[in-house]
Homo-oligomer: A and B are copies of this chain.
Amino acid sequence: MIFSKEFTSAILIIGNEILSGRTVDKNTSFIAKWLGDLGISVEEVKIIPDKEDVIIASLNELRKKYQYVFTTGGIGPTHDDITSESVAKTFGKKYEYNKEAYAILEKYYANSEFNEGRKKMAKMPEGATLIYNVQGSAPAFFLENVFVLPGIPSYVELMLPQLKEVLIGGKKIISVSCDAKVRESSIAVELSIIQDKYPDIDIGSYPYSKEGGFGTILVMRSVDEDRANKCKKEIETMLSKFVQK
């Protein structure tokens, strides 16, 4: 691992719709990039169904293993939204109306019916801190090191920036890349030699095919921008000796 263990996280995606293949998860990519900018690496992502015992077991595993855990999904108004109650059980906290969340929702639904489903979104573990939805609707929350976010990507994108002051990150993870216009199998050996010279740089090799031709995107990730760029230069020098084979 090239990054300090201290600034680690896991993402727990909760939702049958992802597991069944109906929905492609887009939250992981957004959250991981956003955390990377804060110097927090994502070490593991788990996608699980809306099942209480699985949610509790997963949370207990991940919250001990990593500095932060981010969950998405399951905090809406319907019967299959069981994340908040499961988080309460995980921490052995009461699952009750959060007064501030209740007031927000009561106001939001002032001109329509504030029914049971809508009230349910104000129920959270005792002691939860709200993460606001700037559009005025249901807030998310965090408790200790577990951040409970909605499943809808646009809401996640609205809410995450509020956590910037709460989270403690390390050095920003820099990512530089270049397009090797050759097959990765042509340069595998040479790339491996460079990786050995730069054990502090995480070099990724991602093949692509475009209009019948093959190429490879090389990505150098590090907390040290100078080193990443030095490594990139060395890779470019190596690449200049290759033509598509």
Contacts and interface: CB of A to CB of B under 8 A. Distances in A.
Interface of A: 1, 13, 16-26, 28-34, 36, 41-49, 51, 54, 76-81, 109, 112-113, 115-118, 120-121, 152, 154, 173, 175, 184-189, 191-192, 195, 202-207, 209, 219, 221, 245
Given A118-B185, A175-B22, A185-B121, A47 B44 contact: yes
Contact of A32 (B20, B29, B184, B209): B20
B185 A219 contact: no
Nearest to A196: B79
State the number of copies, please.
2
Nearest to A195: B79
A202 B16 contact: yes
A187 B116 CA distance: 10
Contacts of A188: 76-79, 115-118, 120
16 contacts: A16-B204, A18-B45, A19-B41, A19-B45, A21-B42, A22-B29, A25-B25, A76-B188, A77-B188, A78-B187, A78-B192, A79-B192, A79-B195, A115-B186, A115-B189, A117-B186
A22 B219 contact: yes
Given A120-B188, A184-B76, A185-B77, A31 B21 contact: yes
A50 to B, nearest CB: 8
A207 B76 contact: yes
Nearest to A47: B45
Contacts of A209: 154
Contacts of A21: 28-34, 36, 42
Contacts of A24: 24-26, 28-29
A28 B16 contact: no
